[in-house]
Structure 1
Amino acid sequence: MVSAPSADAVPQSQQPAKNIWHAAITAASLGEVEPIILYLSSGGDAQRLLTVEDVEAVADVVDLRSNQTLVDVALKRENSQVVNALLSWGTDQSRDAQESASQDLSNEYLLRRTVSRAAEGAEPGISDLVREEMRSSLRLRADRLPYIDGTHRNTFFMSKELETLPADKLWSALGELLEVNETQLQINDAISRWSTSLLRRKGCCVLYSLYTSADLNCLLHAVSLAMTGVRDSLKVDGVSNRGLLRDATYRALRDNASVGELLRAPNSELRRLTELAMKDKTSLEAAHVFALANIVRRPIVVYAPLEAEPGRELEGAMTERMSGVYLPLAWDPGNTCKDPLCLGYTRGHFSALVGSEAAAIAWAEACGGGAARVPLLLIDEQGQRLPVAFSPSHLDEEGVDGLLQQYLHTSYVEWMDREKGESKVDMAAEQHVPPLEGVAGLFRKVATPDVMLKDKIR
């Protein structure tokens, strides 16, 4: 591969004009190849780093950070054609080959930057096997509600082996597995008030924000990642390019009366929500989170910073609020899993939030034994109790407490609020248990940096 000289080594007069460079930055973010080719053919350097000035120049179009290359920008947004164009520039590959679906070059680039020994013994196709396991476990209730059977009881945890790596290698690996910095900062705003307190009291990290594809299917990816560690990218046969969970969400809203009734949505609103679920790469809303909670038969807890939610009043299916506790109310509690899935919501984007095996074990030891688990305080960054989304309108606070106890492992914990003083708040537990027989090996293998990295860019 032939590389252009670095930007520092090229005289300013020989570098592409700033408008070409800034167009290339925007293109790397949006997945457009032609401006990239124009930049490179004008003598541009694929390894040139974005400056603060560059970031400010494109801020109206894309939200980026400095000290990244175009490849970094494209990888974070899974724009594989841009990655291939940048990494193959100067080779004998044709333009068609540069724009092919092959991920070999971007795989190689990522794997060079992660922990080398983490890749040893990795088996190809593990992620696809997990997806096939999910597909084979999809069932249809008598009233036509699609649901996941079997794997719904699995919760993805970062492997304890990962946390035994030396600090430099750990952060090298995590840097590719976790969300982009801007998203992590917003998620920290939503959970740090209570997670920092638990960390200080019990000495363990609580949640990691896994990188979740920002392709308008992020809610589906986040739920799948939190459950199995892989994205929802297995397409359903015979439909227009819908992933497994998107198709199940669409059918739950279209065919199952109980979900619509629980949403208390007018027919026109229910039709709108159903149409959104039908289309691939279309952003989804709080009502879809509720539908998914019933499909996976377990609670979903969503944390969001205040700035990400223009309104925090619940108004039926049209709520602008995303943060809250979504219970699988279409099911009897005895037929559900009480271990919640956790998501972060930031400016139109959902991210999977997962615990680690090491933290779950450390928490259990700090609490005097018992099952390994990750604690989750059901409060927002202001210390207010998270609402139970779409709970029956006739329930008072005591009735809502009863719902939480039926669908979650709940307890109360003493909480010291800077403004309100000491009080008791709800705490749920996400237990770490061995995956069900038959899929234990698959889920164990997927919890490695190598497998997760390969899946991340597919």
Structure 2
Amino acid sequence: MSERGIKWACEYCTYENWPSAIKCTMCRAQRPSGTIITEDPFKSGSSDVGRDWDPSSTEGGSSPLICPDSSARPRVKSSYSMENANKWSCHMCTYLNWPRAISCTQCLSQRRTRSPTESPQSSGSGSRPVAFSVDPCEEYNDRNKPNTRTQHWTCSICTYENWAKAKKCVVCDHPRPNNIEAIELAETDEASSIINEQDRARWRGSCSSGNSQRRSPPTTKRDSEMKMDFQRIELAGAVGSKEELEVDFKKLKQIKNRMKKTDWLFLNACVGVVEGDLAAIEAYKSSGGDIARQLTADEVRLLNRPSAFDVGYTLVHLAIRFQRQDMLAILLTEVSQEAAKCIPAMVCPELTEQIRREIAASLHQRKGDFACYFLTDLVTFTLPADIEDLPPTVQEKVFDEVLDRDVQKELEEESPIINWSLELATRLDSRLYALWNRTAGDCLLDSVLQATWGIYDKDSVLRKALHDSLHDCSHWFYTRWKDWESWYSQSFGLHFSLREEQWQEDWAFILSLASQPGASLEQTHIFVLAHILRRPIIVYGVKYYKSFRGETLGYTRFQGVYLPLLWEQSFCWKSPIALGYTRGHFSALVAMENDGYGNRGAGANLNTDDDVTVTFLPLVDSERKLLHVHFLSAQELGNEEQQEKLLREWLDCCVTEGGVLVALQKSSRRRNHPLVTHMVEKWLDRYRQIRPCTSLSDGEEDDDDEDE
């Protein structure tokens, strides 16, 4: 056999080159060493040099052929004749393409005729032929890059069609001829180069790893708009015509136009569960969204992730599917408790709205340099003493619906944070109860309003006042915050210093949290809230962050006393409120009303009448260590004696017979706001009505009813 009768196959494009060729004629790939040589598909002989290539003449050989797969590893096929018989020749560049290829892999020319071995469905939709089994190697040749060709010129050496702007052939580097007639018009070229939508979808999802000269086709404004929406849709399997895609596009657009803000928040929450974004779930819950809401068919179609979202799924189902244990615990607690809880604010929505308007009306801004907002009314929420008059079974139902049993257990039993002193909890009737609160990013603001007015900050009235106060008095609060953070880092041996730019960035982040509904708040925000209430805030909280598996993650830094230090003492009240902090959640800690406890001051002269309820809030922890006072200046910082002196100035303090330093929280039913009293009475009437339905063990309750 002559030298012309032996060729080597390129391992990238499978083009068979002459032995003298150092590089592949088609793709310019370097000839590998030890290349497997195949027989000449042309007729042997020197007289065949100028003869055209007849693909039908290659059926007689059975030599091995190198066919690259996606990993570019050589694979040898046993029957070359079967492969060659199934391929079709391109009418432009004569390249042999695999039967699945709809357009030529090399020049992207549209296939004119179907191969006899293909089924009628294979040419139009890109499905697999039925007449034979498809080899995995065909996936390589089937990666036709879609492109709408505009103007091309044909190379006179290798017959490759190049773009009009190319000055030399991309394949063989032959210079472009100066014959203008060689350039084809775009109109005649588009008729033979229609791109199917399956290749278009594959092209969108691929990275631009192809030849740099092959540019994307020009798109109209309508096509660009559709492309933006189609990028969110993963087209699986065979795709229909362009008209069907436009129908889908219009359908999705109609679905989007019908959606409301709550619907978008719900979809963001669903995506947040999949991606592990807890903030999206908190934003949806803070907007009043239903945790038990199910995904509809339109919403699943819009999300377009069949592997993640199914019709009828809720946030809980998604958390289970993607094993989000932290989110699942929060969602299950929310679903189970919302169905069983009934706080006073839920019983009478009309009164609750009136209270919210009353709070908004009582907010005023102080004139002067320190233009902070403040509340004009002093209101303290307490559980009514009439609960004790109810039968034991009804009392248990009341506490189950109004209290957070999990928070109560964590603060009392798991770590002695509240009610650790029998003297305070029993003899002085100062037992604290953790009210149930929404598990959302607004739990701090909700707990503050629960401890005062007994409602949630659903309309973000308190958050707006917090945001405006932080911005209008930024210089005052920034100085306190910076001094406190510097002292805290030094006291714990961190010994780091920040540049002023870094301090400003951290402060800007704190300001941004105040303006975002559902965003978690920090110690600085509690300090500002103490100024808005014009009264101290005592936080009883866990000392360490813990995961849901009980692992310690770090210090919480929330427990302590927050005083309105930037106000004058004469402008503030000395009766504090109490909050509980457990695992990223705040709860209001309130006491129960008691009658006439003016003689229980452990030797102190309280000067109270019979209608005033006095609750003794400890200022020390269970180890008798003084609670930290937050955001003190450099002059106010000192030892415990100096801090205790500061506490006595801002609060009504006394020492019990057991030696516990306490602060007095005073509340009066007559002095309390009438709307709050009315709301509590309507809530309590709900349990009074179910009293006759309880089973009586003896006639003692009946005798009590007759006496009343």
1:33 pairs with one of 293, 316, 324: 293
Q: Which residue of 2 aligns with 1:262?
A: 480
Q: Per residue, is there more helix in 1 or in 2?
A: 1
Deviation readout 1:416-437 (Å, 9 max, x if unpaired):
xxxxxxxx4421010122465x
**Bigger relative contact order (CA 8 A; separation at least 6):** 1
Higher Cα radius of gyration: 2
Amino acid at match of 1:291: V
Q: Which runs of 5+ in 1 are unaligned?
A: 1-22, 45-53, 79-105, 235-242, 313-319, 416-423, 454-458
Answer yes or no: is 1:429 the counterpart of 2:648.
no
Distance in 2 (CA, whole Å) between partners of 1:210 and 1:139 is 28
3-state secondary structure, aligned to 1:399:
helix
Q: Which amino acid aligns with 1:427?
A: V
* Correspondent of 2:429 among 204, 219, 241: 204
Q: Quote the residue 1:300 is aligned against.
A: 537
**Change in CA separation of 1:73 and 1:402 when aligned onto 2, cut-off 3 Å:** closer
Tell me the SS of whatever aligns to 2:425.
helix
Q: Partner of 1:34: helix, strand, or coil? A: coil
Aligned counterpart for 2:439 among listed residues 209, 214, 231: 214
Secondary structure of the structure 2 residue equivalent to 1:268: helix
CA distance in 1, matches of 2:311, 2:596: 55
**Residue 277 in structure 1 maps to residue 514 in structure 2:** yes
Contact kept, 8 Å, 2:292 with 2:335, in 1: the verdict is no
Counterparts of 1:397-436 in structure 2, within 5 Å, are 397=639, 398-415=641-658, 424-434=659-669, 436=671
In structure 2, relative to structure 1, the CA distance for the partners of 1:158 and 1:246 (3 Å cut) is same
- 1:222–1:36 distance in 2 versus 1, CA, 3 Å: farther
Distance in structure 2 (CA, Å) of the matches to 1:345 and 1:287 = 15
Deviations 1:104-146 (A, max 9, x none): xx7xx867xx9xxx99xx7651111111111001111123533
**Pairing partner for 1:329 from 559, 565, 576:** 565
SS of alignment partner, residue 233 of structure 1: coil
In the alignment, the residues of structure 2 paired with residue 452 and residue 231 of structure 1 have an alpha-carbon distance, to the nearest angstrom, of 21
Pick one of 572, 582, 585 that aligns with 1:346. Answer: 582
Alpha-carbon separation, structure 2, partners of 1:43 and 1:31: 13
Shift of residue 412 of structure 1?
Answer: 2.2
CA distance in 1 between counterparts of 2:372 and 2:353 reads 21
Matching residue of 1:194: 420
User: Is 2:593 the partner of 1:357?
Assistant: yes
Higher mean Cα deviation, 251-260 or 206-215? Answer: 251-260
Moved more, 214-223 or 247-256: 247-256
Q: Which amino acid aligns with 1:223?
A: V
Partner residue of 1:447 out of 663, 672, 680: 680
Instruction: Determine the C-alpha separation between the residues in 1 that align with 2:363 and 2:429.
Output: 35
Q: CA RMSD in A?
A: 3.8
Q: Does 1:162 align with 2:397?
A: no
Structure 1 letter corresponding to 2:335: A
The alpha-carbon distance between structure 1 residues 61 and 268, as it changes in their structure 2 partners (threshold 3 A), is closer
Task: Rate the CA distance shift 1:59–1:199 in 2: closer, same or farther, 3 A.
Answer: same
CA shift in 2, pair 1:322/1:123, >3 Å:
closer
1:3-152 superposed matches below 5 A? 31=291, 33-34=293-294, 59-63=325-329, 73-74=334-335, 76=337, 78=338, 125-142=350-367, 143=369, 145-151=371-377
Q: Quick check: 203-212 or 140-149, which moved more?
A: 140-149
Counterparts of 1:193 and 1:444 in 2: how far apart (Å)? 26
Q: Secondary structure at the match of 1:194?
A: coil
Residue of structure 1 in register with 2:633 after alignment: 392
Task: State whether residues 372 and 472 of structure 2, in contact with CA within 8 Å, keep that contact through their aligned partners in structure 1.
Answer: no
Aligned residue number for residue 90 of structure 1: none
> Conserved in 2, the CA contact under 8 Å of 1:293 and 1:299?
yes
Q: Secondary structure at the match of 2:464?
A: helix
1-structure distance, mates of 2:406, 2:421: 19
The one-letter code sitting in structure 2 at the alignment partner of 1:184 is Q
Change (3 A) 1:268 1:373: same
Inter-CA distance 349–404: structure 2 relative to 1 (3 Å threshold): same
